[in-house]
A and B are shown apart, each in its own frame.
Chain A
């Protein structure tokens, strides 16, 4: 039981950390000052979530494990984040759509997780839910604004839907550790969230005058450590200081 709970907690932590790191790439490069701050806020919220999950995972693992060792010293194949969060930030449309997909998923997940049997996970989910509610509101509005905006913004959304749709499915295909933790009542069976997620996405897409793609090829594996090439580049940057100066401190 313990190992699957550790895997599950790390999976939740990695999702938040990697998306936080990705969004942080906008810092100082946002399309306008106000949105630069908005996306960076979201980035910080996500990194805050990941810290809570890592700290909990570290207590479960014991030994000398800390939040830092988990974030900075694990290898690529040990990371259990989904492929969606590690994809490049792309243009603003891609960042917005990815955030919308992920926030909608996280919103449904944390709503249930806050009532889960594991007190720590439930507490983190409850605390994070307020932030996620805002991320979802913010990103939904941007999807509508871009989809139903100018010809160019609409085209860019179509292009990014094409790019990201294949990664959405992985959010809802449960790994064995997710299923085991769910059967103990501590976690959530994500496959049961898919229908609700799809309903919400359809709602926003219809308001944004964007089409829902038909059946396409889907790609997964990230949650089990099989990543796209992008993750290694993120980790190279993220872990650089600890790898170069082991144990370095502020």
Chain B
């Protein structure tokens, strides 16, 4: 088991990883990793639920159906190869997120809402 997810930061994708490359080997260790998103019946958006291995998009979709929707979890599926997901660098968390901490005025909690508005 030498599967591990290698995420690249923005602007840092090596040439050989960019673009879709269909892996044809049958060894599991060569199957790419995919992230799965499901929209539930009540939900308006797709939510990340987990990941899985598959050789291509079609197989990823079917695996997602089999692994993640056995208990009526959803009505719509998205799968995306994990390598296309760009993650923020944990080391930059400070500069990225902390400036928002003391700016509570950005929350819409300083308004009196009319009673008719109940979706806030």
Contact = CB atoms under 8 A, between A and B. Distances in A.
B78 interface: no
21 contacts: A31-B28, A33-B67, A34-B52, A34-B53, A34-B54, A34-B63, A35-B63, A37-B66, A37-B67, A37-B70, A38-B62, A41-B66, A137-B62, A138-B62, A141-B58, A141-B59, A141-B62, A145-B55, A149-B26, A150-B24, A153-B26
A145 B56 CA distance: 11
Interface residues of B, number: 16
Interface of B: 24-26, 28, 31, 52-55, 58-59, 62-63, 66-67, 70
Interface of A: 31-35, 37-38, 41, 137-138, 141, 145, 149-150, 153
A34 B58 contact: no
Nearest to A40: B66
Contacts, number: 36
Contacts of A149: 24, 26
B60 to A, nearest CB: 9
A138 B53 CA distance: 16
Nearest to A32: B28
Contacts of B53: 32-34
Contacts of B66: 34, 37-38, 41
Given A32-B53, A34-B52, A150 B63 contact: no
B67 A34 contact: yes
Contacts of B62: 38, 137-138, 141
Give the interface centre of A32, A34, A41, A138 by most chain B CB atoms within 10 Å: A34
Contacts of B24: 149-150
B105 to A, nearest CB: 47
A38 B60 CA distance: 12
Nearest to B65: A134
Contacts of B55: 145
A141 B62 CA distance: 11
A38 B62 CA distance: 8
Given A145-B59, A150-B26, 18 more contacts: A31-B28, A32-B28, A32-B31, A32-B53, A33-B52, A33-B53, A33-B67, A34-B54, A34-B66, A37-B63, A37-B67, A38-B63, A38-B66, A41-B66, A41-B70, A137-B62, A149-B26, A153-B26
